[in-house]
Amino acid sequence: MGFVFLLLSSTEGWSAEPDKDQLCLLGTEHSHSAVLGKCSDAYETGNYETALRDWESLAKEGNSSAQFNLGQIYLRGQGVPKDYKTAGKWYTLAAEQGDAGAQSNLGLMYDNGEGVPENDKTAVKWFTLAAEQGFVFAQFNLGAMYAEGNGVIQDYVRAHMWWNIAASQGDNVATKNKDIVAKEMTPSQLEKTQELARECVRKKYKGC
C-alpha cells in the first residue's frame, strides 16, 4: 500500500535548542538529554570519553537521563565501539523509569532485533508507553505497527488514529501515510478513527 515505516531514533528530527524536556542541541549529532539540568559541553564538542565518564557514574546511580545518553553513545559508537546490546541495556534502565525517548528507541531495537531479541509485541509495548507520553516518533511507529499487523492485529482504524495524532504534532510522513490508509477504509471507519483520535487527545494519549 505504499506505507513508509519510519524507524527513527528519538534524537532524530529535533530542533537546535533545548525545550521544556531539557533536550540539548536537538537535531544534531550531539543531541542528548540534559543531566541534572545541564547540557554536556564535553559531548557537544565531541569529547565523548569525558561525557561517557561523567554520565556513567550518574547512570549507575539511577539517573534516567544519563542512562538514555549512554544508550545514545553506544548506539552511535561515539568514543566507544558501536554496541547495540549495551545500548539496549541502558535504554531499558531508562525506559523502566519512564523515559519516553528510551522507550521509543527500545521499541525500535525490539522491532529490528538489534541488541535484543526481535519481538514485535515487545516493540509495541514500548512504543505504546512512549506514545502515551505524547512522543511523536513512537506514535508514528505505533501507527505503522497497526498498519502492517506487526505485534498486533492489523487495524487500519488504529493506524490512521495514531498517524493522525502524529500528524497533528507536525509529522509530515504521518500525514502522507494516513491519507494512504484512508483510501482503504470505509466512510464509517473514517468517521470512527476521527472520533478515536479526538478522544485520545482528550485523554492525553492514555488508554488509546
Task: Check whether 132 has a pLDDT greater than 90.
Answer: yes
Predicted TM-score of the model (pTM): 0.89
Q: In terms of DSSP H, where are the helices of 9-113? A: 41-44, 48-60, 64-76, 84-96, 100-112
Q: Are 169 and 131 in contact (CB under 8 A)?
A: no
Residue 150's alpha-carbon distances to 83, 108, 121, 124, 140, in angstroms, are: 26, 12, 8, 8, 14
Contacts of residue 103, Cβ cutoff 8 Å, sequence gap at least 6: 95, 126, 127, 129, 130, 133, 135, 138
Q: pLDDT tens, 171-186?
A: 899 999 999 999 999 9
- Please tell me the predicted confidence (pLDDT) of residue 35: 87
Cell of 190: 473514517
Domains of the chain (ranges; CATH) run 23-202 (1.25.40.10)
Give me the percent of the chain exceeding a pLDDT of 70.
89
- Please tell me the predicted confidence (pLDDT) of residue 22: 62
Q: pLDDT tens, 74-119?
A: 999 999 999 999 999 999 999 999 999 999 999 999 999 999 999 9
Q: pLDDT tens, 14-55?
A: 222 233 346 787 777 788 888 888 888 888 889 999 999 999
Cell of 177: 501515510
